Amino acid sequence: MRIVLLGTGGYHPNERRHTACLMLPELGIIFDAGTSFFRVPDFLQTRDLQIFLTHAHLDHIAGLSFFLVPMLTDQVDSVKVYGEAAKLTAIQTHLFCEEIFPVLPDYEYIPLPKTVNVPGEGILRHLKLEHPGGSVGYRIDWPEHSLAYITDTANPEQHLDFVQGVDLLIHECYFPDDMAEWAEKTGHSHTTPVAELARDSQVGKLVLTHIDPQRSGDDPIGIQVAQKIFPNTTLGEDLMELEF
């Protein structure tokens, strides 16, 4: 099972990271549609796509407006966009209003049901997260693999049961520990609680993403702090490919 981190930054792109988008090319599954969504056509392997949005902040939806040409040129047959009903309405009303984007991509918008069947005999579930305006986390269980994607949330310990035992946990880590106060103010996570979540929930591998764009260096979050708590921790980078 392969997932590509198309974008690993938060808030706005910088020279190193675009904003959130993850893709499982062989299955046509995408999480979020940030500025890195322009990379999706380079990884297309299916004629149908399922996009699962965590929420409707601009750094997670702006890329929906980048996919008009691939749809008009018949590179895909269908694109289903899943999200909370109010967030889907906001996207259609504001991002795709005539004054901003007059030619509409032919997306099918689907309010999140309790579970969604995904390719590979997978079952997707979601969980509400603590974040200004609301967000959801996702988990997919296949017969021999499992994955959880958690971003834009405070207090990671709240979703310990939800991510318990997954093979791969991709979790936001916007701030290092010395900015814990800012994490609380903005509804984001910092390094130690995320690593403790991975340890306590006994996941196979932790990948940290949704990094503060003001920190573009090689170690924006204190990776050694995380690895002391949970050794199998990796800092996500744009275009990183992961097998799980």
CATH number at residue 67: 3.60.15.10
Q: What is the pLDDT of residues 75-112, one digit of tens each?
A: 999 999 999 999 999 999 999 999 999 999 999 999 99
Residues 129, 239: Cα–Cα separation, whole Å? 26
Q: Give the phi and the psi of residue 179 in degrees, each rounded to 5.
A: -120, 30
Q: Is residue 243 part of a domain?
A: no
Q: Give the phi and the psi of residue 28 in degrees, each rounded to 5.
A: 70, 30
Number of structural domains in the chain: 1
Query: Can you give the pLDDT at residue 118?
Result: 98
Neighbours of 99 (CB within 10 A): 6
Residues 37, 162: Cα–Cα separation, whole Å? 27
Q: Is residue 244 part of a domain?
A: no
Position 127 confidence tier, pLDDT thresholds 50, 70, 90? very high
Task: Find the domain containing 8 and state its range.
Answer: 2-237
pTM of the shown model:
0.98
Q: What is the pLDDT of residues 5-60, one digit of tens each?
A: 999 999 999 999 999 999 999 999 999 999 999 999 999 999 999 999 999 999 99
